[in-house]
Amino acid sequence: MDDDWTRSSAMVTVTVAPHRVGLIRAMLETLLLRVDFSVETTSDLVLAVTEICEQIVERSDHRHPLTCSVVTGPHAADGEIRGVVQTGRRRLGVGVGWQLVNASVDHVDVTSADRPDGRDVVVSFSKLREPA
């Protein structure tokens, strides 16, 4: 593989709404398949990112955007999802959906910080490349 060709990045920012998660999914799937990630790796990562986005949307007041950025390289895809969730809602990183996330990626980390109108949330993830 040509290393320059496998190094790509994409970012999409959407209005927080359940039907907008599909835009993030489409961007991610297109990027990974175009740089020769396997279908299985792509499916795993799309599943994890969908679950993360849906959890943020569920906890959001829908006033702040949802952003997903991904960088691919010869060995992995690394990315992050950023959003704002309401305070007092169940924290990210727990529940059955989160078990799917943990099973689908090689690394995931959730950080958050208080702000006057909620909590900034950043979910970082990484998935190793498998041969296509």
Helix, strand, or coil (residue 43): helix
Lowest mean pLDDT among 37-51, 54-68, 87-101, 109-123: 87-101
Question: What domains appear along the chain, each with residue ranges and CATH number?
Answer: 3-128 (3.30.565.10)
The pLDDT of 4-29, averaged and rounded, is 89
Average pLDDT, the chain: 90
pTM assigned to the model: 0.90
Q: Give the pLDDT band (50/70/90) at residue 77.
A: very high
**pLDDT for residue 132 is more than 60:** no
Q: Are 130 and 105 in contact (CB under 8 A)?
A: no
Question: Which tokens in the block code for residue 39?
Answer: 């279908």
| Cα within 13 Å of Cα(25), Cβ side | 15
